[in-house]
Amino acid sequence: MGAGKSTLGPRLAQQLEWSFIDLDDEIVRTEQKSIAQIFDSVGESRFRELEQNTLANTLRLEKVVLALGGGTIETAANRQAIHEDRETLLLYLAAPLEVLIERCEQQQLQREAVRRPILEKRAELTERFQRRRPFYETADWTIDTTGQTLDALVTAVVARWNSAPWSAPPESQKRA
């Protein structure tokens, strides 16, 4: 939340001439309910099942920049699927919690984002962030987004991607 997945992802996909998929948006599309409605109607465990199935289906696609929901990585099966898929590169958009909170609050003030009740529960938010961070840090690449412009981040990721060993063959079907 606030890392920049939904902002950086589409721009990165555009630069790479790939597709962009937001995993939460895919779940909303297939279930025809908001994430909050899914949680309210069937609970978190059923949501996590939907998330796991949607992730598995999405990992079968080629040339996709995929934005994961913040909790996706907490599920062991999801971590395993991501890490075992040799055509998938996991990118962690890192920033201190205070920066992430500030970004979310700014988005809400500008009405660019839905209200996030978790922002009002700082202790719970801090605990969630600390619980998830070790999983995020298992990513193939970590990009510090603090104080970076969108253009600078896209340029940095694309440059790193293009200098990676797999970028040489044009037929490469890697995903980021």
Check which CATH number belongs to the domain holding 11 and give it: 3.40.50.300
The answer as to whether 168 is a domain residue is no
Q: Please name the residue that has the structure tokens 């200098």.
A: 163
Residue 139 domain boundaries: 5-155
Token pair of 40, please? 């309210």
The answer as to whether 174 is a domain residue is no
The answer as to whether 164 is a domain residue is no
In 3D space, the residue among 90, 113, 85, 83 whose CA is nearest the CA of residue 101 turns out to be 113
The answer as to whether 34 is a domain residue is yes
Number of domains in the chain: 1
The answer as to whether 173 is a domain residue is no
The answer as to whether 161 is a domain residue is no
- Residue 117 has a pLDDT of 65
The answer as to whether 170 is a domain residue is no
2 Rama sector, left if φ>0, alpha if ψ -120 to 50, beta otherwise: left
Residuewise pLDDT in 10s, the chain (176 residues): 888 898 999 999 999 999 999 999 999 999 999 888 898 899 889 999 999 999 999 999 999 999 998 889 999 999 999 999 888 899 999 999 999 888 888 877 776 556 666 667 788 889 999 999 999 999 999 999 999 999 999 999 999 888 877 655 454 444 55
Count CA atoms within 13 Å of residue 111 on its CB side.
0
The answer as to whether 163 is a domain residue is no
- Residue 176 has a pLDDT of 55
